[in-house]
Chains A and B, each alone.
Chain A
Amino acid sequence: MNLWRKLACAVLVLVIGASVAAGWLAPAGYAKQYREETNSPPSHAHWFGTDEIGRDRFARVLYGTRISLLLAPAAALLSTLMAALIGGLAGYLGGAWSRVAMTVTDLFLSLPWLFLLITARALMPLNVSPLLSVLVTFLLLGLLGWTTAARVLCASAGSLRSSDFVRQARAAGIHGQRLFWIHVVPNLKPVLYAQFWISIPVFILSEANLGILGLGVAEPMPSWGSLLKELEGLVSVGEEPWKFVPLVLLVIVVTSFHLLLSRQDEMAV
């Protein structure tokens, strides 16, 4: 394990550990309002300061990390698996299969998702608990986010299908599932990993944007997305730098995961 991987590992252990221990590190919780200390800078009592209504930003970052780190990768996994299944198979099978699958994907991409999401919100009851709102939000993201990845995977699987080593395997009498799982899928892994890691920050930010449609994580529950929304009104970077903590954390975590797994991936290949 080289130094970068060790560092990435340590960062992830620290962040995940802190978020798991949120109840112990920030016992007052993410919803407690310190109404006399609103929008305060970092202090001994509030390490990352407080937000506009006096909630401890440290506690909100910890609990938000727990939610986003658990659910954004879950949604990314769901969308990547769907993309692998639809795009990978379409590319591997080629011909009519590929054309049908890509037509369906194109159709999916051309749908007016904004309006469909508004309809989805309209169908949902208003009295949804914050926890359920979190699950619904990330499930929606996972189910809707597979299309772009599917096109990439279809193209990759298509090029693998006509590659020399696959032809050689075919010539050696390997066909069907065995060829797919042993010779094609392992070679799609770098693309799958890339799609997976690209999806995580996208889903985290999409969750924040879904709040506009009433589909995001409901108040008072925090998520990285809702914490990043605080940056909207910031006029300059130097004004209140502690508000950038969720953004910095997002970059660090995604980079760490990337370092850790891309190295693993390179070794596997």
Chain B
Amino acid sequence: MERFGAKTIAITLLCLGSLLGQASAQGGELRFCLRSEPKTFDPLKVEEDASAAIRYLTGGVLVRVNRQTQQLEPELAQSWKVSKDGRQITFRLRGGISFSDGTPFSAADVGYTVQQLMDPDLHSPTGDAFRSSPGSVETKVISPTQISITFPAPVAGLDRLFDQVAILSERSPKKEMTVLGPFMVADYKPGSSVLLKRNPNYWKTDEQGRKLPYLDSIRLDIQPNRDVEMLRFKRGELDLINSLDSEYFDKLAAAAPQLVHDAGPSLDSEQLWFNEVAKSPIPAYKKNWFRSATFRRAISEAINRDDLSRIVFHGHAQPAVGPFSPANNFWFNGSLKPQPYSPDAALKALQADGFRMENGALKDKDGNEVVFSIITNAGSKTRERMAVLIQDDLQKIGIHVNVVTLDFPSLIERMTQTYDYEAIILGLTNVDLDPNGEMNVWLSSSENHQWNPQQKSPETSWEAEIDRLMKTQASSTDARKRKEAFDRVQEIVVEQEPFIFLINKNALSAISMTVRGAAPVILSPQTFWNAERLTVSAK
């Protein structure tokens, strides 16, 4: 009896302690920075990071890619089914859910959202991903909790695309300002901050049945200056920093290692490419170099990627293997081998191709000295440093490189309008795991096929093969076949090196000790992907 009594008291105390602990864990305000002004609060018009962050925190979606497991999970939809031909998807929705203003959620809202999304007049960047061919999208509300959506042509990876589609209310007068996500926009001071408050009608609960989110509010300060962001974090005025630069990461790690997190290689890559555009205003002999796979491979082989990673990114980057980062668990082609660093082999390959070394300078078979310029955007310290390291690497095989930094608009104009450049270093920010998100890069007819865009028909056999494979994978619903096709695309890109992939940056972040429940991941948004389960204790 005595033992029973003691046990009961102990359990009661434990429960009380746990309850008190939980009570203190709930509530609070999370504060971090947006690096630019959000251009829109309409989730269908989102095209930049700041608006995407707000959409992620406020938007309710049918399905969500779990940023940790990279698996698709049900949200507003309990279940879903994609038809065998990949044209139709049917969602079974949860019942009893309301928008933040109390308007009930039903299948009609999903239908309304999809129609808005696919409206050509809206020019929704999110909608572009669904447009595999011309024609209208049909939505059929089967019941208040069931809807089928039929596309004019198969859309590969159709269900995953809904991760980006925040559902709008058809009936609410507040339209996009009424939401189904964990938070809602409560206040916006242009140029200063956005305040998000807990959505009182959010449908989710935790394992103990407590309502989510735990936080009362999130304050997003608009702060483009990274130095100021870092100082404010150090002073305790911010709770987290997303996408931290490697330089800041190391400085912070030296002072407080418990605050920084390196989640490993992200999906983002940095690459160098040569201008292969036939009509570009560069000398013909240079075009011949740049259009030669041997030349491109030799350049690639002469670049010390380990040094780029170690010196420029302070070790917080991995030498890139190919077009997809190893962080993309499913789509990365694991059979690809890292490009070896061998200036000797590079020089031999060039000499076998008719180049010769004279007085420390490399010359082609017509006697033209191999000199070219690399442009990159001014202000990006990492790219400027990469360019200078590459300049030094290539000097070892007799190639003289001029590094030129340009303001971003001038660079983009040269890259997309005048084609007046020789080589560029830029990066690709990938938020989509599926290769369909990169159709606009790999198809030879695409505007973003940067080394030689908008080709009427593929100018090389390997580009024709990439076109065919990309279309094959985009129109197939068989995951295995899609993977086979995209594996081959990756192999061709590594063989031909139209993009010389340099490094994959690590996902770096900083999180204050006052934040509980954070688990940084490589996918965007790295630190607040589970915002509904984060808590901030008293400062």
Q: Flag whether B81 is at the interface (Cβ < 8 A).
A: no
Assess the B231–A127 pair: CB atoms within 8 A.
no
Whether the pair A235, B410 counts as a contact (CB closer than 8 A) is no
Q: In the complex, are the beta carbons of A121 and B227 less than 8 A apart?
A: no
A227 to B223 alpha-carbon distance, docked (Å):
26
How far in angstroms is the closest Cβ of chain B from A213?
Answer: 6
**Does A31 sit within 8 A of B, measured CB to CB?**
yes
Please tell me if the beta carbons of B403 and A121 are within 8 angstroms of each other in the complex.
Answer: no
Task: Render B245-284 as a binary contact track against A, CB cut-off 8 A, 1 for contact.
Answer: 0011001000000000000000000000000000000000
A96 in the interface (beta carbon within 8 A) = no
Q: A235: shortest Cβ distance to chain B, in Å?
A: 7
Complex alpha-carbon distance, A122 and B413, angstroms:
10
Which residue of the partner chain B has the closest CB to A118? Answer: B410
Report if B163 contacts A (CB, 8 A): no
Q: What does the 1/0 interface line of B383-399 toward A look like (CB < 8 Å)?
A: 01101110110000000
Is A218's CB under 8 angstroms from B247's CB? no
Partner of B378, one of A31, A126, A213, A239: A213
Q: Is B289 an interface residue (CB 8 A)?
A: no
Q: Tell me whether B114 is interfacial, beta carbon within 8 Å.
A: no
Total interface residues on A, using CB and 8 Å?
27
Tell me, yes or no, whether A35 is within 8 Å of chain B by CB.
yes
B307 interfacial contact with A, CB 8 Å: yes
Q: How far is the CB of B304 from chain A (nearest CB, A)?
A: 8
Task: Write the A142-177 contact mask toward B (1 if CB under 8 angstroms, else 0).
Answer: 000000000000000000000000000000000000
State the Cβ distance, B386 to closest chain A Cβ, in Å: 9
In the assembled complex, A269 has its CB within 8 A of some CB on chain B: no
Contact B410 A214 (CB under 8 A): yes
Residues of B within 8 A of A216 (CB): 405
Q: Is A129 an interface residue (CB 8 A)?
A: yes
Contacts A211-B378, A213-B406, A233-B381; A219 near B391 (Cβ below 8 A): yes
Q: Which of A53, A129, A130 is B389 in contact with, Cβ under 8 Å?
A: A53
Contact with B along A104-130 (1 / 0, CB 8 A): 000000000000001001100011111
A74 to B522 Cα, complex, angstroms: 52
| Residue in contact with A53 in the complex, picked from B248, B385, B410, CB distance below 8 Å | B385
Proximity string of chain B (222-240) to chain A, C-beta cutoff 8 Å, 1 when within and 0 when not: 0000010011001000000
A-side contacts of B379, CB under 8 Å: 212
Interface membership of A265, Cβ < 8 A? no
Q: Is A42 part of the contact surface with B, judged by Cβ < 8 Å?
A: no
Q: How many residues from B make CB contacts under 8 Å with A?
A: 34
Known: A212-B378, A218-B403. A127 touches B392 (CB 8 A): no
> Given A233-B247, A235-B227, is A218 in contact with B404 using a C-beta cutoff of 8 Å?
yes
Q: Does A190 contact B (CB under 8 A)?
A: no
CA distance A33 to B390 in the complex (A): 11
Across chains A and B, the number of contacting residue pairs, with CB separation under 8 Å, is 78
B311 touches A53 (CB 8 A): yes
Whether A127 lies near B388 (C-beta < 8 A) is no
Known: A31-B392, A33-B392, A53-B388. A235 touches B421 (CB 8 A): no
Is B407 touching A214 in the complex (CB atoms < 8 A)?
yes
B311, B371, B378, B406: which contacts A35 (Cβ < 8 A)? B311
Q: Is A220 an interface residue (CB 8 A)?
A: yes
Q: Is B372 positioned at the interface, with any CB of A under 8 Å from its CB?
A: yes
Encoded as 1 (CB less than 8 Å from any B CB) or 0, chain A from 170 to 189 comes to 00000000000000000000
Q: In the complex, what residues of B have CB within 8 A of residue A41's CB?
A: none
Closest to B252 in A: A235
CA distance A130 to B371 in the complex (A): 13
B29 at the A interface (CB under 8 A):
no
Complex Cα gap A118–B372 (Å) = 21
**B329 in the interface (beta carbon within 8 A):** no
Q: Contact check, B384 vs A219: say whether CB atoms are below 8 A apart.
A: yes
Partner of B402, one of A121, A129, A211: A129
B389 near A33 with CB under 8 A, answer yes
CB distance from B225 to the nearest CB of A (A): 11
CB within 8 Å of B: which of A17-54? 31, 33, 35, 38, 52-54
Cα distance A228–B407 in the bound complex, in angstroms: 19
Q: Is B328 an interface residue (CB 8 A)?
A: no
Is B375 at the interface (CB under 8 A from chain A)? Answer: yes
Which chain A residues border B381 with CB–CB below 8 Å?
52, 233
- CB-CB under 8 A for A213 and B311, given A33-B392, A53-B385, A235-B231: no
Residues from chain A with a CB closer than 8 A to the CB of B406 are 121, 213-214
B413 and chain A: residue at smallest CB distance: A122
Q: With both chains docked as a complex, state the minimum distance between the C-beta of B361 and any C-beta of chain A, in angstroms.
A: 14
Cα–Cα, bound, A52→B383 (Å): 13
Cβ of A50 to closest chain B Cβ, rounded Å: 11
Bound complex: CA of A54 vs CA of B387, how far in Å?
Answer: 14
Q: Which residues of A contact B378 (CB under 8 A)?
A: 211-214
Is B416 interfacial (CB 8 A cutoff)? no
Given contacts A127-B372, A212-B378, contact A121 B410 (CB under 8 A): yes
Cβ contact of A214, chosen from B231, B311, B405, cutoff 8 A: B405
B532 within 8 A of partner (CB):
no
Contact B311 A211, beta carbon cutoff 8 Å: no
Contacting residues of chain A (198-244) with chain B, CB-CB under 8 angstroms: 211-214, 216, 218-220, 232-233, 235, 239
> Min CB distance, A12 to chain B, in Å?
31
| Bound complex: CA A21 to CA B373 (Å) | 31
A118: chain B residues within 8 A (beta carbon):
407, 410
A24 to chain B, nearest CB (A): 23
- Point out the residues of chain A lying under 8 angstroms from B387, CB to CB: 219
Assess whether A212 is in contact with B311, with CB atoms less than 8 Å apart: no
Q: Which residue of A lies closest to B247 (CB)?
A: A233
B182-225: which have CB < 8 Å to A?
A: none
Closest 4 CB pairs of A and B: A126-B373, A214-B406, A219-B403, A212-B378
The residues of A with any CB-CB pair to B shorter than 8 Å are 31, 33, 35, 38, 52-54, 118, 121-122, 126-130, 211-214, 216, 218-220, 232-233, 235, 239
| Given A233-B227, A235-B230, 9 additional A-B pairs, CB 8 A | A38-B311, A126-B373, A126-B402, A126-B420, A211-B405, A213-B407, A213-B410, A214-B404, A220-B391
Residue contacts A-B, CB under 8 angstroms, 30 given: A35-B307, A38-B311, A52-B311, A52-B312, A52-B385, A53-B311, A54-B311, A118-B407, A118-B410, A121-B410, A126-B404, A127-B372, A127-B402, A211-B405, A213-B378, A213-B406, A213-B407, A214-B375, A214-B410, A216-B405, A218-B403, A218-B404, A219-B384, A219-B387, A220-B388, A220-B391, A232-B227, A235-B227, A235-B234, A239-B251
